[in-house]
Structure 1
Amino acid sequence: MVNAINERQKAILELAKNQGFVATEQLADLLNVTPQTIRRDINTLCGQGFMQRFHGGAGQANSVENEAYHHRLHAFVDAKRRIAANVAKHVPNGSSLFLNIGTTTELVAKALVNHKNLKVVTNNLHVATILSNNDDCEVLIAGGLLRQRDGGIIGPATTEFIERFRLDFGIIGVSGIDSDGSLLDFDYQETLNAKAIIGSSRETILVADHSKFGRRAMSRFGHLSQIDWLFTDMDLPDDFLNLASAGGVGVKICCGAE
């Protein structure tokens, strides 16, 4: 079971996100605690998959493997709920939409449970289960290989299934957004599915909390300029704001309930 992280540990994560690496002594000075306290915090964060330990400090988790699903369920959950609520307001009744793999898209599904006359295509078993509670929602589940660790369905058959449709909205999550606007994920097969959703949607919505900006992952599936709307929880850093503006991307900052 994942324990909630405290405010100091959140600050350590934010510094690591901005700097790439944080030294133990530097953190002790900045946060006005002992090095021993910082080491305990780093041990906690590394043990939960949020960081990777290096000599003298720690840095962001590597770009090769994503955090465990149960860790991601509890990371930035309030921000993800705000994003999901705002996306649900954006999607009218009587819509057709894709929802892909990800903990944020699962919260979007929960926010859509009371919508009427929805048609949903998904490669996420959790999304399908959530929306099964909506009697006025028709869910089509992609075939393919079940990834048991997170309920995702991937593979060539999944991509082929997605490409059969042309839907109103494609709502996608992302593991990271690079400084050049590249949309990134850890699983090559998953990126093929996300790319297919972008190509098969009349309007594409990217749901990404602030931790995704500048985060590294090894597989690229698109660019920020291909997105119609970005729903996030904090003001964008200037470089990402400039990329969104140049690409004509609408940005919705989900600071609280509306």
Structure 2
Amino acid sequence: MLKRSARQREIVAMLRGGMTLSVAGLARELGVSDETIRRELRVLEDQGIVEREHGGAHLAAPTLEGPLSQRMEENADAKLRIARAAAEFVADGDILFIDSGTTSCYIARQLVERHSLTVITNSLQVATDLGGINDNRLFLAAGEMDYEYRAFSDTSAQHYVAGFTPHLAILSVGAISTDRGLMDFHPGEATMSRIAYATSQKILLGADSSKFGRYALMHTAELRDVDILVTERELDDAFARAFAHAEVVIA
């Protein structure tokens, strides 16, 4: 039987076609009771992911990200500005964890002139950009590759990354909320982020303005866990207060 997080992701995947599906139909497909489905739908509704109606539910809004190539093109100008500002926090010889988010990929591309970096990553794109140059050392988490993300985030990859203690983790995020904290769309990527928050000395979060006030499927960390926030637009009052503890850079 699926664990709750996996079951919720399966429900969201089944609703992606845009149709309203019945509780009974979802229960039948997932091999659980109607009451189990109702409970999962209540959780997803509280997260702003689905809208329930009599006897069923449909997606409230798009809740899953597209493939990496598509997401790299979204808000590209903002991500490039963020990447250039974020790169200023990286010095030659640093030990970095860089996740597989698109903003992190942009930041990695701005580090090609740095030397003697130690880079831990689960991203094939980051490994391609920073491996084999400038006396860098590269540690690539491996396991089963997610081809849409071009990344490794299964249990094997998670165990591998958990063994490192980076100076700085460079992370992306799917959504940021003042009341629900930091969130992501992919369970494996969310777990990878949690590991980075737990093992890194300092956290740099790169997030364009579209991520603020948004909701996603999985909670990853609290806003207070971020040490450096790099974004391209001034924060509104609520988010400015929420990140008052952090160094906030407007690119």
Q: Which interval holds the TM-score relative to the shorter structure?
A: 0.7 to 0.9
Structure 1 partner of 2:72: 73
Residue pair 2:114, 2:134 contacting (<8 A) in 1 also: no
Aligned partners of 2:163, 2:96: CA distance in 1, in Å? 13
CA offset digits 1:107-141 (Å, max 9, x no partner): 11110001011000000000000113623211100
Structure 1 partner of 2:181: 182
Work out the percentage of aligned pairs sharing the same amino acid. 31
Structure 2 partner of 1:96: 95
| SS of 1:139 mapped into structure 2 | strand
Alignment of 1:111-150 (within 5 A): 111-132=110-131, 134-150=133-149
| SS of 1:167 mapped into structure 2 | coil
Aligned partners of 1:72, 1:80: CA distance in 2, in Å? 11
Aligned partners of 1:96, 1:163: CA distance in 2, in Å? 14
Q: TM-score, normalised by structure 1?
A: 0.72
The Cα shift of 1:72 comes to 1.3
Aligned partners of 2:65, 2:134: CA distance in 1, in Å? 34
Tell me the number of residue pairs that the alignment of Structure 1 and Structure 2 aligns: 193
State the one-letter code of the partner of 2:95: S
Aligned partners of 2:161, 2:135: CA distance in 1, in Å? 22
Residue pair 1:115, 1:136 contacting (<8 A) in 2 also: no
State the one-letter code of the partner of 2:84: A
Structure 2 partner of 1:253: 250
**Structure 2: segments with no counterpart, 5+ residues:** 1-58
| SS of 1:134 mapped into structure 2 | coil
The Cα shift of 1:179 comes to 2.9
Residue 164 in structure 1 maps to residue 163 in structure 2: yes
| SS of 1:205 mapped into structure 2 | strand
The Cα shift of 1:60 comes to 8.2
State the one-letter code of the partner of 1:190: E
Aligned partners of 2:155, 2:149: CA distance in 1, in Å? 18
CA offset digits 1:73-126 (Å, max 9, x no partner): 111111111111111111111100000011111111110001011000000000
CA offset digits 1:41-65 (Å, max 9, x no partner): xxxxxxxxxxxxxxxxxx98423x1
Residue pair 1:116, 1:137 contacting (<8 A) in 2 also: yes
Structure 2 partner of 1:62: 62
The Cα shift of 1:181 comes to 5.1
The Cα shift of 1:249 comes to 1.2
Structure 2 partner of 1:11: none
